[in-house]
């Protein structure tokens, strides 16, 4: 049943998403052309440059809009499928509430990663077109290869560990963000029957403000102290400590994701009243 739920969730989101994705993909070539014009050695009319700069800015803004739109589509699907008139049908389906929640979570996280992949490809296309003389030169790749080899020689096996740990942290952070917003929407739908969207936005900004404040305090005091402590460690031992710190972050995000998932399920299963 989870496969069917995922199918309808993805169809609901991607029937609009692909239009924005295709538009951003096409605009990446336009952005590459703008960079090429700005980097050209040929003399062009002065009026060309302002329009080219404006065009490049608009292309970059389109990537930002595409990313925001993708996120909005995910949470609009979650809200409409659970907390509007459609919710009456959703919660009468012969499926477990965990499957309903898992479907939304998998769809949301997948959409965010696919969107990020498209944006990265768009930027690469734009950069490759705009800086083709540099990027496709033998000298560039020799320099790039020497940098990579230097990093591999310096970090050794720790490089693979870092890549895996960072990848897991990114996945958990995206899951955390999705569950965090799901909880804000659900809590708003529980405490009010009107202006649910506005209430959810207000709850999100208040809670996000608290998280941001705590994060800034940790950055100001924790990161500085940590950097000083790492600099005092024996040469080479700091790599293992960094791996342990990243592992600690994985545990931190894992615990918070579990707590948010449990809270979200509890609110849907126990507190939600669509009447």
> Phi/psi at 237 (nearest 5 deg)?
-75, -20
Q: What's the pTM?
A: 0.83
pLDDT tens, position by position, for the chain (275 residues)? 788 888 888 998 998 899 999 999 999 999 888 888 877 767 767 777 788 888 889 999 999 999 999 999 999 999 888 888 777 777 777 888 889 899 999 999 999 999 999 999 999 998 888 877 666 665 555 566 666 766 666 666 778 888 899 999 999 999 999 999 999 998 888 888 777 888 888 888 888 888 777 777 666 655 656 555 555 556 556 677 778 888 988 998 999 999 999 999 988 877 666 55
Alpha helices in 45-96 (DSSP H): 48-83, 85-90
| Per-residue pLDDT, 136 | 62
| Per-residue pLDDT, 211 | 77
* Domain ranges across the chain: 19-136, 138-275
Buried b (16+ CB within 10 A) or exposed e, 208-239: eeeeeeeeeeeeeeeeeeeeeeeeeeeeeebb
Tokens standing for residue 176: 């955390």
Long-range contacts of 236-242 (CB under 8 A, 24+ apart): 239/155, 239/158, 240/158, 242/158, 242/162
- Beta carbons of 211 and 176 less than 8 angstroms apart: no
């Amino acid at each position: 049943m989870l496969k069917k739920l995922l199918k309808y969730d993805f169809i609901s989101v991607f029937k609009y998403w692909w239009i924005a994705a295709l538009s951003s993909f096409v605009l990446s070539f336009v952005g590459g052309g703008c960079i090429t014009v700005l980097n050209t050695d040929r003399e062009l009319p002065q009026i060309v440059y302002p329009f080219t700069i404006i065009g490049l800015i608009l292309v970059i803004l389109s990537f930002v809009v595409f990313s925001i739109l993708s996120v909005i589509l995910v949470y609009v699907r979650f809200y409409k499928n659970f907390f509007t008139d459609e919710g009456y049908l959703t919660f009468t389906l012969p499926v477990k509430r965990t499957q309903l929640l898992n479907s939304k979570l998998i769809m949301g996280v997948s959409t965010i990663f696919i969107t990020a992949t498209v944006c990265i490809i768009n930027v690469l296309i734009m950069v490759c077109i705009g800086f083709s003389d540099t990027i496709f030169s033998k000298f560039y790749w020799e320099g790039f290869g020497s940098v990579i080899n230097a990093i591999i020689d310096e970090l050794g096996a720790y490089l693979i560990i870092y890549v895996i740990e960072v990848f897991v942290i990114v996945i958990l952070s995206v899951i955390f963000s999705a569950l965090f917003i799901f909880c804000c929407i659900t809590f708003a739908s529980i405490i009010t029957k009107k202006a649910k969207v506005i209430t959810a936005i207000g709850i999100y900004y208040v809670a996000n403000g608290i998280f941001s404040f705590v994060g800034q305090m940790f950055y100001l005091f924790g990161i500085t102290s940590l950097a000083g402590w790492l600099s005092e460690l024996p040469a080479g031992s700091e790599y293992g400590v960094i791996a342990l710190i990243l592992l600690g972050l994985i545990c931190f995000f894992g615990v918070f994701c579990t707590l948010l998932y449990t809270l979200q399920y509890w609110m849907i299963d126990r507190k939600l009243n669509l009447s």
